[in-house]
Structure 1
């Protein structure tokens, strides 16, 4: 039997949403082991002078407890 837990985080990038997701998962993986999946719950952008300057994603990361 295995038990999983879900962790919710927010990550950002100046490159794009894909990069924000990759950075968020990489950062979480530094301290959380057994990550099995992630769900992009929500995306946002920061706009300055009519241009997108930052992409943000809210992630739900699933990992199996040891």
Structure 2
């Protein structure tokens, strides 16, 4: 049985929510290993002149830290 930890990452993208989620995982991967899953807690978008200008996600990243 492995121990799993959770961190929260806020990430953005100018393309899409999917891309923002990928950016969250990529950013987390810089400091943690063994990422197992991502849970998107919140999504938001910035709007200017009735157009979405950026997408954002608040993501929970789950990763294994050891075996029992």
- TM-score, normalization: structure 2? 0.92
Q: Which has the higher strand share?
A: 2
Aligned to 2:9: 9
State the distance in 2 between where 1:50 and 1:29 align.
34
Count residues in correspondence. Answer: 66
Aligned to 1:31: 31
Instruction: Provide structure 1 residue ranges, at least 5 long, that are not aligned to the other structure.
Output: none
- After superposition, residues 40-51 of structure 1 pair within 5 angstroms as 40-51=40-51
Deviation of residue 49 (structure 1)? Answer: 1.0
Instruction: Provide structure 2 residue ranges, at least 5 long, that are not aligned to the other structure.
Output: none
State the distance in 1 between where 2:60 and 2:23 align.
14
Deviation of residue 47 (structure 1)? Answer: 0.4
- TM-score, normalization: structure 1? 0.94
State the distance in 2 between where 1:59 and 1:22 align.
10
Moved over 4 A (4+): none
